[in-house]
Amino acid sequence: MIRYQEKTNIFQLDTLTTSYVMGIADGSYLGHIYYGKKLQPQDLGYLLRTQEHPQTPSKLPREKMSFLDSFPMEYSFSGTGDFRESCIDIRDIHGQSGLELLYRGHRIYHGKDGLQGLPAVWGEGCQTLEITLEDTCAGIRVRLSYSVFEDSDALIRSVKVENTGTEAVYLERVLSACLEMDDEEYEMLSLPGAWARERHIKRQPLLSGSFVTESVRGESSHQDHPFLAAVSHNCTQTCGDVYAMHFVYSGNFLAKAQRTQFDTLRMVMGIHPDRFCWKLEPGAAFQAPEAVLVYSDAGLGKMSRTLHDLYRNHLIRSSYKEKERPVLINNWEATYFDFDTEKLIAIAKESAALGIEMLVMDDGWFGHRDSDDSSLGDWVVYEKKLPGGLKYLVDEVNRLGMKFGIWFEPEMISPDSRLYEAHPDWAFHLKGRTPSRARDQLVLDLSRPEVVDYVYDSISRVLHSANIEYVKWDMNRALADIGSVALPPDQQGELSHRYMLAVYELQERLITEFPDLLLENCSSGGARFDPGMLYYSPQIWCSDDTDAVERLSIQEGTALVYPLSSMGAHISDCPNHITGRITPFETRSHVALAGSFGYELDITKIPEAERQMISGQVAMYHAYNDLVREGDYYRIASYQENHRFDAWAVASKDKGEVLVTYVQVLAEPNKRSRKIRLQGFDEDALYRLEGTEQVYSGEMLLYGGFLVEPMKGDFVSRLYHFVRM
């Protein structure tokens, strides 16, 4: 519900349990007043502190700069007196910058417009407020957009900038959201990582200066994640304040929290301004991506569930959105590049017999690719490995009752490829400089429409050539040497964003032409796991690290902000290929159950005892997947925090059943059973623990706790399924 009180010039946006309030000072300056627990509409204008020194410019013109530098700007601008973090910067053709954005008007409407060329939250039961700010001197108009859904606690923001002048301007910075808070000594929570260690939850105080999490790698990255939350000291899974921002974008980003001289906090999020410069011709507009804001008064758990529901109901679009995903087996860790039709069919035969539903052929099926140093760009079947072609292989796999999926890395080009021979200038490169290779590959200049068309036609041709029902879209290097022969010098700063727009366009074309395709994004593991990609693919490969213990932390961090159904999680072979660790096959299955389940091993070579467990695991996935995919997620214990055990639960929306997963990472000698307080239960109901005669009341489990029996061994796990009686 969105209201504007004309008398007080106050906007109030209500979600299910929160309110977001803005006001206009001096008839001109849009200020942030309040974000928090839901309030009755009332005059909160005093919180803008315009009665204090420095008063507004109309009352105290001689101190206008002090006003600009202390007022809680709803969308901050720079160069005219606000020295804090700015959301927008321009440079005109005379080389000058500086803006003063003043309120011009607003409109409130039902629904929410899409964002051209960009991923965006969508759906019914929604209202949008669009506020127009303007700087007539610079010829810049800014439209701030805020949407709220009836069924969600999230607030969706975006920004559009128009050139209303008569000369071109250069947009050097345009962030998507700003949030002003009085600093109550919040801690910063972010999700940094590395390859094979993606999205580990980190929390630290911000005593002074700034906290930054960012990517300038051309992808949302392994190293940082486009998410930032300010949380109160006392914040846990179940209590405390959380102010979260999540960016619906997959390229360079900046998320920054700045503690000011007055101990206020300004949090901003948007496209990273480094190497960004967008030329805006007169009359042209630039659409910045969306940011999702969530306030929770009940800790991190409530924030997670808000984001999960928003993404499941209003971001993911796939026809698999509400469907079980087929249990897949991927040959990457099984064979790497060393496979052929015969080997794949042998894997498929064994898999089909055990109930696995789809074979995914990973990297190495095209060009003359025997290792990672060739053929990217040549999307034609490697006949030496696949004699008889793709259709023969796919038909054979289909005949076994399995679906077939395939791997692509469409954005890349190998210097050793026919494509590179024909079009060396299609790779990003800086004039006069040999571009840096990574994994021996270069990045295609997707700012060129002919390159985009080539890539699309290559994929589409392959998908038409056989019954392919799944695509793993990989991206295995960051962007560097970003230069294009196709753009004029004053537009080279547009390349990183143009690249992202092209990736989005390619994936949009793909899912439009093949609406039933199951698309899984991937980027050297989880370097492009972000809300932007979720708009195109309902699941994303979490990490190349499939070690069950490492996955606990990766999946805990990922599930903090993403629904479990979006996390690609597979059971792989041991010793694990990355860590060398040996974990029980059962534990690996319990950990993978928290995601879109599959296998990543040579099923023809694993020990017989493990092979025999597979059909049971597939049945377990089918038994619990509706719950895991659609339920509410509760984090019970964190191995990252306690270094001994991990536990999480998924409860059906009606609390009729709850599945608890417990992993004992390290055995502790001479201990009694461990009591853990569970979450997700109806406190007035009785539950039976499946497989036993044991009955518990919801309140016992919530407040008294559940006793996990003492277990011998490291890395052992248990599943507990409670059903309401």
Binding site for ligand GLA (CB under 6 A): 332, 362-363, 372, 407, 474, 476, 522, 524-525, 541, 544
| Cβ-based nearer residue to ligand GLA, 126 or 603 | 603
Provide the pairing of β-strand 278-280 with 2-5: unpaired
- To ligand GLA, the closest distance from the beta carbon of 658 in angstroms equals 32
* DSSP string covering 115-130: -TTS-----SSEEEEE
- Measured on CA atoms in the order 586, 588, 591, 597, is the torsion positive or negative? negative
Of 525 and 563, which has the nearer Cβ to ligand GLA? 525
Whether residue 282 is preceded by a cis peptide bond, meaning omega within 30 degrees of 0, is no
Burial class from Cβ neighbours inside 10 Å (0-12, 13-18, 19+) for residue 404 reads: buried
Shortest Å, Cβ 73 to ligand GLA: 41
Under a CB-based contact definition with an 8 Å cutoff, are residues 19 and 44 in contact?
Answer: no
Return d(Cα 15, Cα 12) in angstroms, integer: 10
Rounded least distance, CB 472 to ligand GLA, Å: 6
Residue 476's nearest CA partner among 434, 517, 443 is 443
Residue 593's nearest CA partner among 349, 381, 324 is: 324
Could you say which of 69, 135, 153, 474 is catalytic? 474
Nearest distance, CB of residue 314 and ligand GLA, angstroms? 28
| 577 alpha-carbon distance from chain centroid | 26
Catalytic choice (89, 153, 544, 547):
544
Nearest-approach distance from CB 359 to ligand GLA, in angstroms: 14
Closest by CA to 492, choosing from 445, 554, 552, 537, is 445
Rounded least distance, CB 240 to ligand GLA, Å:
35
Burial class (CB in 10 A: 0-12, 13-18, 19+), 542: buried
- 474 assigned to active site: yes
Q: Are 18 and 295 in contact (CB under 8 A)?
A: yes
What ranges in 162-298 are assigned the alpha helix state H? none
Min CB(116)–ligand GLA separation in Å: 30
Q: How far is the CB of 527 from ligand GLA (least distance, A)?
A: 8
Residue 568 Cβ, how far from ligand GLA at the closest point, in Å?
A: 9
Question: What element of type H or E holds 86?
Answer: none
Report d(CA 268, CA 711) in Å as an integer. 47
Distance from the Cα of residue 387 to its chain's centroid: 39
Peptide bond into 575 cis (omega under 30): yes
DSSP state letter for 523: B
Q: Which is nearer to ligand GLA, 26 or 440 (CB)?
A: 440
User: CB-hemisphere CA count at 13 Å for 618?
Assistant: 19
Cα–Cα distance, 290 to 277 (Å, whole number) = 19
| Helices 449-465, 495-513: crossing angle, 10 deg rounding | 30
- Complex with ligand GLA: residue 151 or 372, whichever CB lies closer: 372
Helix (H) / strand (E) element for 169: namely strand 169-182
- The tokens of 715 are what? 């890395």
Token digits for 571? 């059971």
Closer by beta carbon to ligand GLA, 333 or else 494 = 333
Q: Which is nearer to ligand GLA, 500 or 522 (CB)?
A: 522
For ligand GLA, the closer CB: 48 or 381: 381
The least CB distance from residue 369 to ligand GLA, in Å, is: 9
Which residue lies nearer to ligand GLA by CB, 220 or 664?
A: 220
H/E segment holding residue 569: strand 567-572
- The C-alpha atoms of residue 719 and residue 625 are separated, in whole angstroms, by 14
Cβ distance 270 to 256 under 8 Å? no
Give the C-alpha separation, 426 to 449, whole Å: 11
Q: 88: part of which helix (H) or strand (E)?
A: strand 88-92
Nearer to ligand GLA, 370 or 372 (CB): 372
Helix (H, G, I), strand (E, B) or coil at 254: strand
CA 672 to CA 664: how far, in whole Å? 14
Q: Is 18 helix (H, G, I), strand (E, B) or coil?
A: strand
Closer by beta carbon to ligand GLA, 307 or else 592: 592
CB of 191 to ligand GLA, least distance (A): 18
Helix and strand totals (H; E) in the chain:
14, 37
Q: Which is nearer to ligand GLA, 363 or 547 (CB)?
A: 363
Ramachandran quadrant class, 643 (left: phi over 0; alpha: psi -120 to 50; beta: rest): left
Q: Please state the closest distance from residue 415 (CB atom) to ligand GLA, in A.
A: 17
Between 71 and 541, CB nearer to ligand GLA: 541
- The catalytic site residues sit at 474, 544
